[in-house]
Amino acid sequence: MSGLIVRGARLLGGETGDIRIVDGRIDAVGSVDPAAGDHMIDADGLVALPGLVDLHTHLREPGGEASETVLTGTRAAAAGGFTAVFAMANTSPVADTAGVVEQVEALGRQHGYATVRPIGAVTVGLEGRQLAELGAMAASRAQVRVFSDDGHCVADPLIMRRALEYVATIGGVIAQHAQEPRLTEGAQMNEGPLSGELGLAGWPAVAEESIIARDVLLAEHTRSRLHVCHVSTAGSVDVVRWAKKRGIAVTAEVTPHHLLLTDETARDYDARFKVNPPLRRAEDVEALRAAVADGTIDIVATDHAPHPDERKECAWAEAAFGMVGLESALSIVQHTLVDTGMLDWAGVARVLSTTPAAIGGLAGYDAPLAVGAPAHLTLVDPEASRRWSTDELRGRSRNTPYTGITLPGRVIATVHGGVPTVLDGALVDADTVATTAGGR
């Protein structure tokens, strides 16, 4: 049967080799002789990564289709090299039942640009009062294993304890948005001298750090798994590092924007830079980069948060929190971690593919690019660069914070389950992807 051959890519071991894909799986790696009918991708000078996995994406559907849909969000994901995304629960209706998570998962299968794994809400309506249908969501076709009220902190310690106890019985994990609500009422940006100068209510670092400290102790007590979303402060890194040394089952993520941008961006009151948790000090950025390099922070996750123009092109205090980030994530990781010598490309594969897949219980990424493995593949040109603009975006919203910044690297091809979704740097036609993926 005809296959797809990636010719002459840079493999993660440092050698150059070919990859042959047949029937959605890796058929051969090394020096590959083409067979009749094989299609060819010239990968000379390109780095071959396992398909990227984002553990923290907001696809907005159902209910928020003005900002994003499963189709537009997964097209943005494919353009950024992602072959799987975990969709957060803050939709309308909230993804707190088996019916809603199955709807989201089915839309991902229908469109074919990326595997979509729904994240189930921890509490009904994200209200923090009553546990949602965790067992029903886990047993559904969506097979939910990650639960989060992201956008809201599970602030009640008893509810958090019960959630941790429950997911321990189903092999799941609670992904916590660490924000003590009473300490952040009305908060608009990082608390510090600059927030006082600008007259914006401050979001103190301790509001994040205190919740993480509480929750790692609860995870230890319940012998359950905790994942900390979008870590943003040096103090949070210290707490996570302490917990790991103690043997607590905690993992943590950082966003690309927290690896690059600081609270100084707020000086012009440009709401593109308004995000939760807020952009922090330069010292925090350095601590976060070091924590990714030494493994304290396990993964990079985008927290892709699309909003229509009217929610961001307004006064800072009225603007929505959030940034889009799927298309730019790999470039930011290259810029902040690879080009600085803190990570090699094997490290990129670890923080953007294999580890997020493992945390989320996503099969097929434990032995990436090995013979017999599912063919999820990203080809990136590390020597390319471009001045970032909204023209680079493939989703429905335009709220990127990187406009005007020159970023390195470019995704040349993305292959999802053997089906090319990006070729020569351009998205493959939606009908072609859906038809081919549906025939897998």
Q: What are the residue numbers of the active site? A: 303
Q: Which two tokens stand for residue 116?
A: 């979509």
H or E, element range at 220: helix 205-222
Contact predicate 225/167, CB 8 Å? yes
- Residue from 192, 370, 390 nearest 281 by CA: 192
What are the Cα distances from residue 431, in Å, to 110, 240, 395, 437?
Answer: 10, 44, 17, 10
Is 37 among the annotated ligand-binding positions? no
Is 230 among the annotated ligand-binding positions? yes
Residue with tokens 């980069």: 289
DSSP bridge partners of 203:
190
DSSP bridge partners of 20:
5, 28
SS3 for 412?
Answer: strand
Is 58 among the annotated ligand-binding positions? yes
Taking the C-alpha atoms of residue 55 and residue 69, their distance in angstroms, rounded to an integer, is 17
- Residue from 351, 347, 308 nearest 329 by CA: 351
Is 257 among the annotated ligand-binding positions? no
Is 90 among the annotated ligand-binding positions? yes
Is 111 among the annotated ligand-binding positions? no
Taking the C-alpha atoms of residue 311 and residue 201, their distance in angstroms, rounded to an integer, is 19
Is 23 among the annotated ligand-binding positions? no
Contact predicate 42/414, CB 8 Å? no
Contact predicate 69/61, CB 8 Å? yes
DSSP bridge partners of 426:
423
Is 194 among the annotated ligand-binding positions? no
Is 44 among the annotated ligand-binding positions? no
Is 158 among the annotated ligand-binding positions? no
Is 86 among the annotated ligand-binding positions? no
Binding-site residue set = 56, 58-60, 90, 150, 177, 230, 276, 303, 307, 321-322
Binding-site residue set for Zn(2+) = 56, 58, 150, 177, 230, 303
Binding-site residue set for substrate = 58-60, 90, 276, 307, 321-322
